Amino acid sequence: MFALLLGLRSPRAAPAALCFAAVGCAGTAKTALMGPDPVPGWLVLMGTLLFLCVLPWLGGRYWRQSRALTAAGWLRAARLEEEQRLTGSARGCASGPGSPRTCTTPWGTN
């Protein structure tokens, strides 16, 4: 849960990646110094780190980036609509070589 929240709230990836690497290195050193067969302990450590920390963190990052991308898309759509609205109102004000110089605006004709 904390890894998901870290991925969701943290704007940068470097601190979390550094923390995961430090935990992996410390756990590797601990399992290498314990007992005659460190492989099962190391596999449990790496599996736990991967499935309970790294993958939820990546899911949180994906979720945050997806929300940011959705918000940016809606902002772009609003800007395009506003630009189209302004272009449509300016179209009534266009003066070509053969047209009179009158503008049709919401307030009347100029």
In a domain, 100, yes or no: no
d(CA 81, CA 15): 40
In a domain, 105, yes or no: no
In a domain, 32, yes or no: yes
In a domain, 12, yes or no: yes
Q: Quick one: tokens of 91?
A: 């179209």
Q: What is the DSSP code string of 37-99? A: --HHHHHHHHHHHIIIIIHHHHHHHHHHHHHHHHHHHHHHHHHHHHHHHHHHHHHTT---SSS
- Report the 10 Å Cβ neighbour count for 4: 17
Smallest Cα–Cα separation from 54: which of 11, 103, 21? 21
- Report the 10 Å Cβ neighbour count for 104: 13
Average pLDDT over residues 20-40: 90
In a domain, 65, yes or no: yes
- The number of distinct structural domains making up the chain is 1
In a domain, 99, yes or no: no
Q: pLDDT averaged over the chain?
A: 85
pLDDT of residue 93: 59
pLDDT of residue 87: 87
On whether the pTM is more than 0.75, the answer is no
Within 8 A by CB and 6+ apart from 108, the residues are: none
In a domain, 106, yes or no: no
1 pLDDT more than 60: yes
105 pLDDT more than 70: no
In a domain, 103, yes or no: no
CB 42 within 8 A of CB 71: no
- State the residue range of the domain holding 24: 2-88
Average pLDDT over residues 25-49: 90
Average pLDDT over residues 95-110: 56
17 pLDDT more than 80: yes
Q: How confident is the model at residue 78 (pLDDT cuts 50, 70, 90)?
A: very high
